[in-house]
A and B are shown apart, each in its own frame.
Chain A
Amino acid sequence: MLAHLGRRFAGLLLVLFIVAAMVFFLTRLAPGDPAALMLGDQATAEDIAKLRIAYGLDKPLLVQFVLWLKEVASGNLGQSIFLQRPVTQALLERAEPTFFLAMFSLAIAAAIGVPAGIASAVWRGRPLDQVVSGLAMLAANIPSFWLGLIFIQFFAVKLGWFPVAGYGSPDAGFAERLQHLLLPSAVLGLVNSALITRFTRASMLDILSADFLRTARAKGLSERRVLLEHAFRNVLVPVITVLGLTLALLIGGAIVTETVFGLPGIGNLVVSAVLRRDYPVIQGALLAVAGIYVLVNLAIDLIYTLVDPRVRY
């Protein structure tokens, strides 16, 4: 187990290094100068040059990359050019809305997707299966920004149940901030429930045709016990996989929803940073998201050992 963990961590570091290099060089390939954008239309060439020197942007690319890697290795993700504060601090400030948005969305997606997928498999080919499959197809293909705008229009503007956007007033308490998350969570939850539904349905169908279920039924177990105790337990591994991956995707990929709902989360930060060419923030945020992604994957693998005694490392 320890050797396995060691190998996984080494792999994790390699993945992060590759991500770091790709992010660093790809952001630099895009034209656009953060100093010129920061200083505005009337800035002189001299001012722009000064700011570039202050942020080390005048150095050769490879030197900048090595210097950045050294800083990252010591836990420092650099200083945001635009926000004038450490990237780590900016990320931590944005982590809360993204984290809760991801968790609530996942909870909603799982609450819809898992039972719907199971029911759909159990009543395969029946009207319920057709309805669930159709809805899942629809949810998978709805653009989240469109659904977001519809939800804003209906639930926030027309009914006035939720705030339109933002993350609470400056002195908002936790409850007010969370209230701002409900609508975007519903949007992301619905959109992501499609994958979970289809994945759960497919896994359940596999299990339902397994020999051990036939044996269980032959032993005279009730259908309820067969499904809940035997089938569902075996569906857990693939379902956990898809839930974990969905969570990781939500943390890194709620960009559109955060933008539509004006949530000051990590996705929103990355979009702004790209428009501002705030290299340290783009690099730091993407590296952090990649790190989370890899760690979630690792966590999923470890959870397998808890739910399925056959899995051993």
Chain B
Amino acid sequence: MQNDSLSRTGLTRRGLGGLAAGLAASTMLAPAAGLAQGASSANLAMVGEPQSLDPMASTADLVGTIMQHVYEPLFTFDANWATQPMLAASLPAISADGKTYGIELRKGVKLHNGRDLDAEDVVASLKRWLEMTPRGKGLAKSVASLTAKGPSSVEIVLNKVEPALLAHLALPSGFAAIMAKESIANPLTEFVGTGPYKFRERKPDQFVVLVRHDGYASRSEPTSGYAGKREAKIDELRFIPVPNANTRLEGVIAGQYQFSDQLPVESFKKLSASSAAKAVLTMPFGFPYFPTNTKQGPMADLKVRQAFQMALDLEEVLMAGFGEPKFFALAPAHFPKGSPFFSEAGKDKYSRADVAGAKKLLAEAKYDGTPIRILNSKQYDFHHRMALVMAEQMKAAGFKVQLDVVDWATLIQRRGDPALWDVYITHSAFLPEPMLSPPQLGDGAPGWWSTPAKEAALTAFNAEPDPVKRGALWGKVQQVIFDEVPYIRAGNFAALSGASAKMKDFTAMPWPSFWNVDLDK
């Protein structure tokens, strides 16, 4: 009643009076009414507005985070980052030459429009993914055919071995989402998937609302990472863009948000001290890395790049970026122990902090004192803080350094021009398969790393379908990275999020998911 009368109120003096009275009444009678959420809905404060709700139109993590609740992939990752089936009934049958993948679909999976998922949906979705997404396009050159073999079988035939295929299909970023074929359009206007939640409404810069998919057919295996059983325990998920980190922090402490993503590390103490909220650490969440310009400028000289690597004390750099040791880890190995790609190759060149050695290399390179331009942005605070310390360490080793601080949009543009930078600061999410990140392992990425040693190591790695042998071959790639310094991978870092103390069973993963999560009443 009150709402109706207020919404009809015009801007007359009397109207304003009524408005004020209504406001006062609503504030005083039910001060927390607008904030209180039952167990049936969760307000999830995210870092910004998703670029799109089409998971294939953008590789932004936020898009994947939200839309992985609506769409599901054929395969996904478990808690150990091993690939597991999701919409596929099991892992695929791969032919002996590693080029034919037979994929059986799980039976009884319902799309959000009530129809059963079939192989035609999968083929149509994957074709779109191969045409639209950067990773899909890269793979498309290797795909000879993609066909439905009956209502619940799909066959992918490759013209060359692609050992990373399943990891590509499992990744929530640039997502190989399976959607109802009749909903496929460019741009997507309907979001019809198979996930535990379905799309209800989006108001740009205000919210994206997903509601429980009652017909969801879950897997029966125990939950592990993104794999296994999924259950929508909360009726409604509201993803709310809250770009201001302080607001996200205060909101979760005040109980307005049940989850606040990506908080500054300084908030850890405050979150830990709060009885209403708790700190959630995701480790490893990602890795900061510093690509070098191998094409032009002083860094084009291998010895200068090696001097740069030798000069750095990465513990200090990471400490500057993340403040406390619990938020980062030194990691010469690009993959953790337990991963098939764990290797210690090249670790003797990692974080040497060897000023004399760096000076010697610079002298050998006849470095003429041309300033090294470190392109960095304050949009990610830790980037800039790392750049400041890195610059001091480089100066101590005899480099001249120029910090080019720009906004992120400018950095993205400038890094495409080899004349404009020598080193830039960025980071990547931790990804379980080497070929997924950083892009410098592929062709044409900023830095333009292209050498015979890279070519040889990566060609051998990418031609090997056997996962065990691939592990050993990755060690050789890692060695070349340490030898040629196309980028310096600083280590691993954790992400800090805040969750309501009432939130149960949340699993910290790089793309946070809210199936299987419940809220205490």
Do chains A and B stick together as partners? yes
**Alpha-carbon distance between A272 and B50 when the two chains are bound, in angstroms:** 12
User: How many A-B contacts are there with CB distance less than 8 Å?
Assistant: 176
Interface residues of B in 1-49 (CB under 8 A from A): 2-3, 6-7, 11, 16, 19, 22-23, 26-27, 31-35, 37, 41, 43, 48-49
Interchain CB contact under 8 A, B412 and A37: yes
Interchain CB contact under 8 A, B409 and A166: no
Interchain CB contact under 8 A, B34 and A165: no
Interchain CB contact under 8 A, B134 and A47: yes
Interchain CB contact under 8 A, B23 and A178: yes
Interchain CB contact under 8 A, B187 and A84: yes
How many of B's residues come within 8 Å of A, CB to CB?
Answer: 68
**Alpha-carbon distance between A70 and B209 when the two chains are bound, in angstroms:** 37
**Alpha-carbon distance between A111 and B464 when the two chains are bound, in angstroms:** 75
Interchain CB contact under 8 A, A36 and B413: yes
**Alpha-carbon distance between A151 and B385 when the two chains are bound, in angstroms:** 29
Q: Does A40 contact B (CB under 8 A)?
A: yes
Interchain CB contact under 8 A, B174 and A42: yes
CB distance from A51 to the nearest CB of B (A): 10
CB distance from A53 to the nearest CB of B (A): 15
Say which residue of B26, B243, B416 sits within 8 Å of A175 (CB atoms): B26
Q: Does A170 contact B (CB under 8 A)?
A: yes
In the complex where A39-B58, A178-B6 touch, is A272 in contact with B243 (Cβ < 8 A)? yes
Say which residue of A36, A165, A169, A176 sits within 8 Å of B26 (CB atoms): A176
Interchain CB contact under 8 A, A164 and B250: yes
Interchain CB contact under 8 A, A40 and B410: no
Interchain CB contact under 8 A, A262 and B250: no
Interchain CB contact under 8 A, A85 and B204: yes
Q: Does A245 contact B (CB under 8 A)?
A: no
The range of chain A's interface size is: 35 or more
**Alpha-carbon distance between A176 and B174 when the two chains are bound, in angstroms:** 37
Q: Does B388 contact A (CB under 8 A)?
A: no
Interchain CB contact under 8 A, B242 and A40: no
The residue of chain B having its C-beta at the shortest distance from the C-beta of A180 within the complex is B34
Interchain CB contact under 8 A, B238 and A170: yes
Q: Does A90 contact B (CB under 8 A)?
A: yes
**Alpha-carbon distance between A33 and B247 when the two chains are bound, in angstroms:** 28
**Alpha-carbon distance between A235 and B491 when the two chains are bound, in angstroms:** 66
On chain A, the residues within 8 Å of B172 by CB distance are none
Interchain CB contact under 8 A, A40 and B174: yes
Q: Does A313 contact B (CB under 8 A)?
A: no
In the complex where A164-B250, A276-B409 touch, is A173 in contact with B3 (Cβ < 8 A)? yes
On chain B, the residues within 8 Å of A178 by CB distance are 6, 19, 22-23, 26
**Alpha-carbon distance between A188 and B514 when the two chains are bound, in angstroms:** 37
Interface readout for A172-216 with B: 1 if CB under 8 Å, 0 if not? 111110111010000000000000000000000000000000000
In the complex where A31-B410, A47-B134 touch, is A164 in contact with B7 (Cβ < 8 A)? no
Interface readout for A246-274 with B: 1 if CB under 8 Å, 0 if not? 00000000000001111010001100100
Interchain CB contact under 8 A, A43 and B23: no
On chain A, the residues within 8 Å of B23 by CB distance are 175, 178-179, 182
In the complex where A42-B439, A160-B31 touch, is A32 in contact with B26 (Cβ < 8 A)? no
Interface readout for B50-61 with A: 1 if CB under 8 Å, 0 if not? 011000011110
Interchain CB contact under 8 A, B243 and A84: no
Interchain CB contact under 8 A, B242 and A165: yes
Interface readout for A63-95 with B: 1 if CB under 8 Å, 0 if not? 000000000000000000011110000100110
Interchain CB contact under 8 A, B137 and A175: no
Interchain CB contact under 8 A, B413 and A32: yes
Interchain CB contact under 8 A, A149 and B409: no
On chain B, the residues within 8 Å of A167 by CB distance are 206
Interface readout for A94-120 with B: 1 if CB under 8 Å, 0 if not? 100000000100010000000000000
Q: Does B408 contact A (CB under 8 A)?
A: yes
The residue of chain A having its C-beta at the shortest distance from the C-beta of B438 within the complex is A41
Q: Does A156 contact B (CB under 8 A)?
A: yes
Interchain CB contact under 8 A, A174 and B7: yes
The residue of chain A having its C-beta at the shortest distance from the C-beta of B200 within the complex is A170
On chain A, the residues within 8 Å of B379 by CB distance are 275
**Alpha-carbon distance between A276 and B250 when the two chains are bound, in angstroms:** 26
On chain A, the residues within 8 Å of B112 by CB distance are none
On chain B, the residues within 8 Å of A179 by CB distance are 23, 26-27, 34
On chain B, the residues within 8 Å of A239 by CB distance are none
Interchain CB contact under 8 A, A262 and B203: no
**Alpha-carbon distance between A93 and B49 when the two chains are bound, in angstroms:** 15
Q: Does B460 contact A (CB under 8 A)?
A: no
Interface readout for B175-214 with A: 1 if CB under 8 Å, 0 if not? 0000000000001000000000000010111110100000
The residue of chain A having its C-beta at the shortest distance from the C-beta of B252 within the complex is A164
On chain B, the residues within 8 Å of A41 by CB distance are 59, 412, 439
Q: Does A161 contact B (CB under 8 A)?
A: yes
CB distance from B320 to the nearest CB of A (A): 23
Q: Does A38 contact B (CB under 8 A)?
A: yes
**Alpha-carbon distance between A103 and B253 when the two chains are bound, in angstroms:** 30
Q: Does B254 contact A (CB under 8 A)?
A: yes
On chain A, the residues within 8 Å of B16 by CB distance are 107
In the complex where A156-B254, A264-B206 touch, is A169 in contact with B34 (Cβ < 8 A)? yes
**Alpha-carbon distance between A306 and B135 when the two chains are bound, in angstroms:** 67
Q: Does B256 contact A (CB under 8 A)?
A: yes
Q: Does A168 contact B (CB under 8 A)?
A: yes
Most chain B CB inside 10 Å of its own CB: which residue of A165, A176, A261: A165
**Alpha-carbon distance between A106 and B409 when the two chains are bound, in angstroms:** 35
Interchain CB contact under 8 A, B250 and A157: yes
**Alpha-carbon distance between A149 and B203 when the two chains are bound, in angstroms:** 26
A169-B37, A276-B409 given; name 17 further pairs at CB < 8 Å.
A34-B409, A36-B412, A39-B59, A40-B60, A41-B412, A160-B31, A170-B206, A172-B34, A173-B7, A174-B6, A179-B26, A179-B27, A182-B27, A260-B244, A260-B247, A264-B203, A268-B205
Give 5 A-B contacts (CB < 8 Å), ordered by A residue: A33-B413, A42-B135, A164-B257, A169-B41, A169-B43
Pick the 3 closest A-B CB pairs, nearest first. Answer: A32-B409, A173-B3, A40-B59
Q: Write the residues of chain A forming the contact surface with B, with a CB cutoff of 8 angstroms.
A: 30-34, 36-45, 47, 82-85, 90, 93-94, 103, 107, 149, 152-153, 156-157, 160-170, 172-176, 178-180, 182, 259-262, 264, 268-269, 272, 275-277
Q: Write the residues of chain B forming the contact surface with A, with a CB cutoff of 8 angstroms.
A: 2-3, 6-7, 11, 16, 19, 22-23, 26-27, 31-35, 37, 41, 43, 48-49, 51-52, 57-60, 133-135, 137, 173-174, 187, 201, 203-207, 209, 238, 240-244, 246-247, 250-251, 253-257, 379, 406-410, 412-414, 416, 439, 444
